[in-house]
Structure 1
């Protein structure tokens, strides 16, 4: 009986939260997906600038002083930004104050773009990206996260999920039921909310950034086919590790590669209209 009540409560809250998640105040111009956003672009840009200042002031994160590392990153960033200013996100891209920092950390294969256009690339991504086209796939992906306001949407979903849990918790507390049952129900609701609402949206964000990102990279003159090679190398690097896709915030590598191949004809059609950028090797690959 108790188990049935837990399952029923979990199902109700998951359906309720899922219903809220489809209500949006903005529509993605590329995918048509509705987005619920509870912050303004100005607020997001301010938060992005603050986070970027924290990154730059962190003594553990040392900016590269090597022109051989800095110049290719700035070159790719400039092309991606120009493509963004021609894209369906042109208005927002024009508002952003774009800036990029290269962080000297050969052990970290990472890059990010914050709301407002503040970007960072870790030198550890060079061996994985291999070429400037590979780096364009990475940076295009990250820039889309910022332009599509994925971070703000994620925060909005989190706020709604917390509200749902508070309502459920109050209902359980007032029901006069078994306290242990209430705790078990809340635990189930917490997991249900995480899996049912938050993580799937994060996977949608990643797929959306992959899709629009290769379109931006192609429009910037970079061969979008390099994105497939990039994720094949990522797959080799991870050696099949990580959580199951259902409980992961990112699509599995195989899923990602399949999706990129599906979108490739559209990206190639854009690429063929641009002057191709030479596939220059990045510093760690070219040898120093």
Structure 2
């Protein structure tokens, strides 16, 4: 118990830094602390409960077209192979939600990734889809869920959940995640790290790492016109600063990749429009 309390104090202090090297330290400390606060097994249990909440209470409908589902999982599998290098032991599960009016994707603890058909229709090419999936995978590899849960539900509640002493808390967290349908309220630092990880993952398998940037810009151009259906945009604001950072990160780390895959996504979008 003392060890967990010490970790929480370290994480809390680390969250206080905001710039320069301190920001890097915050992310590293946060990830280490989160790994001690909640185990892989507990994250898997939580993710499974969230899935049940989504299916039973939120009544989400999964896409039944095997061609489209296999396509999304094939694209994702290349990204997730890279993510496994940062965090081993995650048993990824990719789900496609049949909702063409919702542009959204989110990740929950345990490696559960969800993408709406509306996002597939909004993406111009495969690199943009890969960028979004890489970003969401980055939230999982970065252990951002445990960090966000501590801030949202309180240190003591998360400690008890991590120690297996409060199933009710885990159920409450699962219900909250399922209820808002967009995942946890990640910090600005978490979002930045997920952006960077997504760029790394996509570049590593040959995609243009700027896919996430162009997707941000595309949604930003539509903001205000169809904002009611763009849940991903509401939780991932494509600020000029964010786009500038990601472009700078790609240049500084010399991330390369030219595969856009527009020709591969086009027939998938046609199937969804039928």
SS in 1 for 2:187: helix
Aligned counterpart, 2:68: 69
Contact 1:106 1:122 in 2 (8 A): yes
Distance 2:270 2:212 in 1: 17
Structure 1 residue 58, shift from structure 2 partner: 4.8
2:246 is the counterpart of 1:260:
yes
Post-superposition CA distance 1:171-214 (Å, at most 9, x none): xxxxxxxxxxxxxxxxxxxxxxxxxxx98x61111111111111
Structure 1 residue 250, shift from structure 2 partner: 4.5
Aligned counterpart, 2:14: 22
Structure 1 residue 252, shift from structure 2 partner: 4.5
Post-superposition CA distance 1:221-273 (Å, at most 9, x none): 2111222210111102223979xxxxx9655422221111111225653537x
Contact 2:131 2:211 in 1 (8 A): yes
Structure 1 residue 121, shift from structure 2 partner: 0.9
Distance 1:21 1:58 in 2: 37
Distance 1:59 1:157 in 2: 24
Which segment drifts farther, 126-135 or 100-109?
Answer: 126-135
Distance 1:97 1:223 in 2: 26
2:101 is the counterpart of 1:107:
yes
TM-score between the two structures when normalised by the length of structure 2: 0.68
TM-score between the two structures when normalised by the length of structure 1: 0.65
Contact 1:215 1:267 in 2 (8 A): no
Distance 2:52 2:253 in 1: 35
Distance 1:235-1:285 versus aligned 2 partners, 3 A rule: farther
Distance 1:251 1:235 in 2: 8
Distance 2:15 2:188 in 1: 18
- Higher Cα Rg, which structure: 1
Aligned counterpart, 1:213: 198
Contact 2:100 2:121 in 1 (8 A): no
SS in 1 for 2:44: helix
Structure 2 gap segments, 5+ residues each: 1-8, 17-22, 159-183, 229-233
Distance 1:261-1:23 versus aligned 2 partners, 3 A rule: closer
Distance 1:111-1:150 versus aligned 2 partners, 3 A rule: same
Contact 1:145 1:209 in 2 (8 A): yes
Structure 1 residue 134, shift from structure 2 partner: 0.7
Distance 1:252-1:77 versus aligned 2 partners, 3 A rule: closer
C-alpha root-mean-square deviation of aligned residues, in Å? 3.4
SS in 2 for 1:222: coil
Query: Aligned residue pairs: how many?
Result: 219
Post-superposition CA distance 1:86-121 (Å, at most 9, x none): x3x1xx33x111111111001111112222211111
Structure 1 gap segments, 5+ residues each: 1-16, 25-29, 164-197, 243-247
